[in-house]
Chain A
Amino acid sequence: MIYRENGQFKTTYKTDQQIFPILQDRWAVLVLIAFAFVGIPLLVDEYMFRAILIPFLILSLAALGVNLLVGYCGQITLGAGAFMAIGAYAAYNFAIRIDGMPLLGALLLGGFTSALVGIIFGVPSLRVRGLYLAIATLAAQFFWDWAFLRIKWFTNYSTSGSVSVSNLEVFGWSLDGAVDKYLFCLILLVVFALLAKNMVRGAIGRQWMAIRDMDVAAEVIGIRPMYAKLSAFAVSSFIVGVAGALWGFVHLGSWEPAAFSIDRSFQLLFMVIIGGLGSIMGSFFGAAFIIVLPIFLNQFLPWLGGLAGLSISVATVSHIEFMIFGALIVFFLIVEPHGLARLWSTGKEKLRLWPFPH
């Protein structure tokens, strides 16, 4: 009843083509962003920030990057973890080797380095497709895992192979507190999400989608596959790289290559698949599902057991957590193979028709 667009007439192309053509959507998103900036810092405690919200924001950003490549351009990648690692280590090296390098500069340069490497590792996509491409990108994962473990220069000859950063500062704004870190990640996420959304709505995004749907047909209508595919690799790697740098700098503070292992690549791919391929919104849903759900189950189960008068050992909880988590993935994939984002848009459709569904 509330969610209805009756009477909202679009008289210009501009109004018809805006990101959220429906007034209610526009307001909902604005309220949501305002709440994220103002409401959450007032309501939430430090644990929520450090353990849940900051990882959620950063991995949403990474999932967004992966979604551009996998969901919009149709190029399967298993190397997302490697590109996060490249972003993190490149940013680290820029930060320590160049005196007075600002944090934001280091992060963006980390992203650019990752984009460059992404283009190089994207070259096989011009020849191979689908699962074969997944294997080719897997090579990136293993190569960079190896490089950051073995080539001492990347870790500034640290004896243990673990690097760390501290005293983060952006334009005099010191990122020590959990709230500061959260806001910093949120700003970057909003900026990148907006850029990504506009990119996929524009010419370049349409090229990606054309390539995804049928690359021969796309080539026939004049889209250059090389340009389209490599630009998807570059943009995706850039965003993933920035997310990796944030993960290292802002979330972990000190990290080793294991933080960006093959598990991370799979995790990001699952986020995109569960959240919804080819949907910006889906990246957020997927990240929330993968990050928040296990932690939630881990704390919810002992509490539930406590209600029933049972004390469940932490080991059992962790086993049950894995089982429920796995079962839920299967459940969602069966109920809605197109991901949580599709569930969301189906919900919106139903709301528009409510209370007279057909």
Chain B
Amino acid sequence: MKLRKLALTASLAAIGLSSALTAYAQAKEQFFPVLVYRTGAYGPNGTPWANGYVDYLKLVNARGGINGVKLSFEECEFGYATDRGVECYERLKGKHGGGTVFQPLSTGVTFALTEKAAVDKIPLITAGYGRSESQNGAVFTWNFPLLGTYWVGADVLIQHIAKKEGGYDKLKGKKIALVYHDSPYGKEPIALLEERARMHGFNLQLLPVAHPGVEQKATWLQIRQNRPDFVLLWGWGVMNSTSLKEAQATGFPRDKMYGIWWAGAEPDVKDVGDGAKGYNAVALQHGAEPNSAVVKEVLEKLHGKGQGTGPKEEVGSVLYMRGMISAMLGVEGVAQAQTRYGKGKVMTGEQVRWGLENLNLDQKKLDAIGFAGVMRPVQTSCLDHMGSSWARIHTWNGSKWEFSSDWYQADEKVIRPMVMLTSAKYAEEKKITPRTPEQCKQ
């Protein structure tokens, strides 16, 4: 009885206290909400990304902010669960004067937020993931799949395979298997791969793997029976290392395996070590860059002073760089918006959207912020919310990721019609009138 009373009083007190929770950051700060997943099945991959993201925001502050405007940020952990991600979005969107930009790092959450973002007027950057058709800025006003989409990744992978084989005609009759995470994320590339299969006459096999992807025996049995020439891996988190271990057990050559960027980072291959040697993945503008200028700056200005977010060894790894680049794109969007709406001011979501739509990161700019050699220039427009469709392939050599190909550009002739078709379908379903070029000029 006493225990019960105690529990009751404690919970009542807790409810009272929590309502006293208030925002503490001052105004005049640009607030970056950070959706992260440091726990759960995908935690090992989510953590370096989050560390890179937060470190870059800290670095901008160490550099003096965006034209003097300091950044504030708050993390919200959602464990890659869509409903908790939406809860985090609702929690953070109004805090500290309003969220600047959201980057959920989850295709499921992106789908759920696509309509909410438009209502709340907060841009959604989905660098390298999300809806592939959202690169059409005329329909998807608030979505920015900067630096490529799943279709870009898939297209580049097919180009690379064709090049290795000695031309597209050599793909005829070949068998390519797609081992994918059975979710919107894993299904995104199917449309493009089917299109490419029609064009080049290769045979596409679809092998879904249920979340979280630790059970793949049946999938790899099918691979052993069908003997595909190549395997494309669309996995995330623990699914990737499981796939590589299964490939090792099945005896499928790892150098015939190609992953999307979600399946091409250190946490995926580290456990497998030598067993993953030769495994390739597409890198949408990012990769392991331990020697780049921005990494050195982070080590000096943050880790040197004990202010780094994660372990020091992680700085410059693949997903860490992905997080840094993602944060940089958001920050540059704000900087670009300031050129129009007033330097040294805090930008609203709507203003940042304009900034992201008119992003122009040329080589000079990239050199200045320390991204020389890390990525190629990016230029967006009102109709093109992707900005760049260049990518490279990198290969795991047993101890680190190394770039193993030249730059490829995704084929606009293949992707553009598909983007127009699917986005038109979306616009019709949602009764959206696409923006005209005239409206874009405003």
Give the interface of A toward B (CB within 8 A).
45-47, 50-52, 55, 96, 149, 159-162, 164, 166-167, 176, 252-256, 258-259, 261, 295-296, 298-300, 303-304, 313-315, 317-319, 331, 335
Q: Select which of B75, B87, B108 is within 8 A of A51 by beta carbon.
A: B87
Complex Cα–Cα for A261 and B107 (A): 17
Please determine whether A258 and B21 come into contact, CB atoms closer than 8 angstroms: no
Q: How far is the CA of A315 from the CA of B50 in the complex (A)?
A: 11
Q: Total A-B pairs in contact (CB under 8 Å)? A: 108
B14 touches A159 (CB 8 A): no
Question: Which label, helix, strand, loop or mixed, suits the secondary structure of the A interface?
Answer: helix
Tell me whether B205 is interfacial, beta carbon within 8 Å: no
Across-interface contacts of A164 in B (CB, < 8 A): 111, 114-115, 429-430
- Asked if B7 is at the interface (CB within 8 A of a chain A CB), the reply is yes
Contact status B430-A166, CB under 8 Å = yes
| A313 / chain B contacts, CB cutoff of 8 Å | 38, 75
The one of A50, A256, A296, A298 in contact with B77, judged by C-beta atoms closer than 8 angstroms, is A298
Contact B182 A159, beta carbon cutoff 8 Å: no
Which of chain A's residues have a CB closer than 8 A to the CB of B188?
159-160
Cβ 8 A contact of B114, one of A254, A255, A296, A298 = A254
Which residues in B have some Cβ–Cβ distance to A below 8 Å? 3-4, 7, 14-15, 17-18, 21, 36, 38-39, 43, 47, 75-77, 79, 82-83, 86-87, 90-91, 94, 107-108, 111-112, 114-116, 119, 131, 182-185, 187-188, 190-191, 208, 211, 422, 429-431
**Could you tell me if A51 and B77 are in contact, using CB atoms closer than 8 angstroms?**
no
A45 to B95, CA, bound (A): 12
CA of A292 to CA of B182, assembled, Å: 29
* Residue numbers in B under 8 Å from A256 (CB-CB): 82, 108, 111, 183-184
* Residue ID in chain A nearest B114 by CB atoms: A254
In the assembled complex, which residues on chain A have CB atoms less than 8 Å from the CB atom of B86?
Answer: 50-51, 252
Cα separation A164 to B432 with both chains bound (whole Å): 14
Partner of B18, one of A51, A161, A254, A299: A299
Name the one of A46, A50, A161, A319 contacting B184, with C-beta atoms under 8 angstroms. Answer: A161
On chain A, the residues within 8 Å of B17 by CB distance are 300, 303-304
Decide yes or no: A161 and B82 within 8 Å by CB, A318-B38, A335-B4 being known contacts.
no
Residues of B with C-beta under 8 A to A166: 115, 429-431
Specify which chain A residues have a CB less than 8 angstroms from the CB of B15 in the assembled complex: 296
Closest 3 CB pairs of A and B: A315-B38, A160-B184, A314-B77
Residue ID in chain B nearest A261 by CB atoms: B211
Which residue on B lies nearest to A253, using beta carbons? B115
A sample of 10 cross-chain residue pairs with beta-carbon separation below 8 angstroms, ordered by A number, consists of: A51-B86, A160-B131, A161-B187, A162-B108, A162-B184, A164-B430, A259-B83, A295-B87, A299-B18, A300-B14
Closest approach, in angstroms, between the C-beta of B424 and any C-beta of chain A?
A: 13
Measured CB to CB, the nearest residue on chain A to B22 is A303
Contact of B191 among A159, A162, A255 (CB under 8 A): A159
A26 to chain B, nearest CB (A): 25
Contact, CB under 8 Å: A47 / B94 = yes
Q: Which residues of B sit under 8 angstroms from A300, Cβ to Cβ?
A: 14, 17-18
**A38 vs B7: C-alpha distance in the bound complex, in angstroms?**
31
CA distance A149 to B75 in the complex (A): 32
- Closest B residue by C-beta to A247: B83
Q: Nearest chain A CB to B45's CB is how many angstroms away?
A: 13
